[in-house]
Amino acid sequence: MQTREKKIDALRRKYNFSELGLYFALYKRYTGLEIEKNIRYATDGKRTYLDIVYEKNGGNEKHPLFIYLHGGGWVSGRRTARIYYCDSWAKQGYVCANIGYDYANDAKHPEHLREIFKGIEYVLDRAEHYNIDSTKVVIAGESAGAYFAAFIGAIATHRELYQRFAIPFKYQESFNVSACVLMSGIYDPARSLDTKFKDMDGFSEALCGLTAEELQGEDGRSKRDFLAPSFYADAKFPPSFIIGSKQDLLLPESVALHNELTAAGVMNQYALCGGLNGVHAGALLCQVGDGKKALQKAQAFALEACADREKEKI
């Protein structure tokens, strides 16, 4: 095994073990929800599974779609630990798709994006079955998941990127993202190295295949359009609710994206969490404190963005 692969594997084991506590921190049993777990959406990936969460008695009306992508530095992450965040959105009337994807030691960028779009396609193929209004889509994620959520938003608003990343997505002409909800994200891997977030050099090397020096050098700068969703933070970018945490070394990434979108005239809001939610991706603990406030604000923001999408249809 090569040195780089050993490094990635060590990070995977380290962070997947540390995520065990998320099951207990995030767990809350909701009543009245249907949860379909471990649905295989593609056969050519190790972790290409998703979960669907929705209200049992949602009626026959169409519901907006909420897509969640887990974090884990691109090398780890437990999809199932995020079901409970999806539950909170399902109680607001969303059909939620909690989509997993392969780690960086099993798939090279942009294969993760191709996998995620396969998961989205799987759900949209069944829009009638789940009573989904496919014109109202909210996509969310934390950390590396926010990176992918932002990239999905960028691709949906810059359709030439389907070809750029060789994404065979059947709904590329009609798929739109009404809003992004982005928690403690990484939006430019090269820029994120300046934050000194622990193991960021290993995370970015796993995703990009470049050392920290290469990523911040001429080679990395020439590939920013390929590696950084913030490269597409222009007027086309979807409305975005950005959540940061006070004690998170990656906080500058959230602030930078907020400033970029504001400068581009994109509808966006920024929330800062402290207290129990002040650590990296602390907003996932959405049942208490600032995490609960951020969730409520994000849901109000998404509701407004979806309403704006409805107006565009008229």
pLDDT for res 23: 59
- What lies within 8 Å, CB to CB, of 133 at 6+ separation is 62, 63, 64, 65
Enclosing H/E stretch for 294: helix 289-313
Q: Which of 175, 126, 179 is nearest to 149 (CA)?
A: 179
- What lies within 8 Å, CB to CB, of 168 at 6+ separation is 114
Query: Whole-model pTM?
Result: 0.95
Q: pLDDT tens per residue, the chain (314 residues)? A: 457 777 778 877 777 766 666 656 666 667 789 999 999 999 999 999 999 999 988 778 899 999 999 999 999 999 988 999 999 999 999 999 999 999 998 999 999 999 999 999 999 999 999 999 999 999 999 999 999 999 999 999 999 999 999 999 999 999 999 999 999 999 999 999 999 999 999 999 999 999 999 999 998 999 999 999 999 999 999 999 999 999 999 999 999 999 999 999 999 999 999 999 999 999 999 989 999 999 999 999 999 999 986 666 65
Per DSSP, 85 falls in state H
- CA–CA distance, 103 with 105 (Å, rounded to integer): 6
Which residues is 34 bridged to in the sheet?
54
Tokens of 90: 């399902």
Strands 132-142 and 63-69 come out as parallel
Enclosing H/E stretch for 200: helix 200-208
Q: Are 180 and 140 in contact (CB under 8 A)?
A: yes
ω before 110 within 30° of 0 (cis)? yes
For residue 243, report the phi and psi dihedrals to the nearest 5 degrees: -120, 125
- What lies within 8 Å, CB to CB, of 19 at 6+ separation is 72, 76, 77, 78, 81
- CA–CA distance, 10 with 5 (Å, rounded to integer): 9
pLDDT for res 274: 97
